[in-house]
Amino acid sequence: MGRKIKKYDVDRQLLDAFYEIENEWKQIESFMGRSFEANQAGRQQEALARAKYLFLLREARHRNVSAKWYK
């Protein structure tokens, strides 16, 4: 029998992924804002990162995860 996964551990992983994707999205957004010619691939990457961010945000709200205890 395997180790039972605790809610705290899953919430911690969710917040880690959330902040990682947030940084990725902001980097892509910043790069696209500075580029002279924004190509289709760049726009798609930005849209994908934004969609991931919004999905993780909804999941965190659904699970009532608070970043106050996140360190």
**pLDDT tier, 70 (very low <50, low <70, confident <90, very high otherwise):** low
Domain residue ranges of the chain, discontinuous segments joined by +: 7-65
38-71: burial string, b at 16+ Cβ within 10 Å, e else: eeeeeeebbeebeebbeebeeebeeeebeeeeee
| Tens of pLDDT, residues 12-67 | 999 999 999 999 999 999 988 888 887 888 889 999 999 999 999 999 999 988 87
